[in-house]
Amino acid sequence: MALVAGNGVHALGLTPIFGAFLAGLMIPKGPAWERVAGLIGGTGRVFVPVFFVVAGMTLATGGIGALPWSGVVLAVLLGIAGKVGGGYLGARWGGEDRLTSVRIGVLVNTRGLTEIVVLQVGYTAGLLTPGLFVALLVMALVTTTLTGPLLDLIVRRRVLLEVR
């Protein structure tokens, strides 16, 4: 079903991933869905690493040496500030305390896989320059990688504040 929808969307001039996504939205959850999910659930273990290899090869062929590193650093800093800040403000607006809000903001950083998929689609469609693609790809990888250490820091700080 996903392949048919992907090919149909591709015939319209869009990237096939949108068709596969729409096909996934149309599948109702229930016992049949659980059986199919059980049968194909392991495919992610194969295809997710392949996807990262393809994204990495795109990065490697784009010429890492010619990167505008100031743009990469700016993208990483803005990515962290935007994700943590947006998550924090949303949580505070929803009534959470400050430390919980910071933790929620940090957890928004884990959205790197989604970002990489969108970046790959944008780059393939010619919407992103190689430099912008690399800067945003590095931002997605760095912010996702920082999630664990930042959460550990927040937990340690919360413990220190409770001890006082």
Q: CB under 8 Å, gap of 24 or more: what pairs does 156-159 form?
A: 157/99, 158/99
Delimit the domains of the chain by residue range: 1-41, 47-163
Q: Residue 7 carries which DSSP code?
A: H
Which whole number is the average pLDDT over 13-42? Answer: 77
pLDDT of residue 99: 86
- Considering only CA atoms, which of 92, 113, 110 is closest in space to residue 101? 92
**Distance in angstroms (rounded) separating the CA atoms of residues 48 and 8:** 23
**Distance between CA atoms of 121 and 19, rounded to whole angstroms?**
13
* Average confidence score pLDDT of the chain: 79
Angstrom distances, CA of residue 17 to CA of 20, 72, 81, 100, 121: 5, 27, 29, 35, 8
- The stretch 93-107 carries a mean pLDDT of 90
Q: What share of the chain is helix, strand, coil (3-state, %, to 5)?
A: 85, 0, 15
Tens of pLDDT along 125-163?
889 888 888 888 888 888 888 888 888 888 887 766 565
Question: Any idea what the Cα angle at residue 158 is, between residues 154 and 161, rounded to 5°?
Answer: 135
Instruction: Find out whether 137 and 119 touch, Cβ atoms under 8 Å.
Output: yes
Which residue has 């990515």 as its token pair? Answer: 79
Distance CA(111)–CA(83), nearest Å, equals 9
Per-residue pLDDT at 48: 64
Cβ-contact 59, 136 below 8 angstroms: no
pTM of the model: 0.62
Tokens standing for residue 57: 């090869």
Q: What was the pLDDT predicted at 86?
A: 93
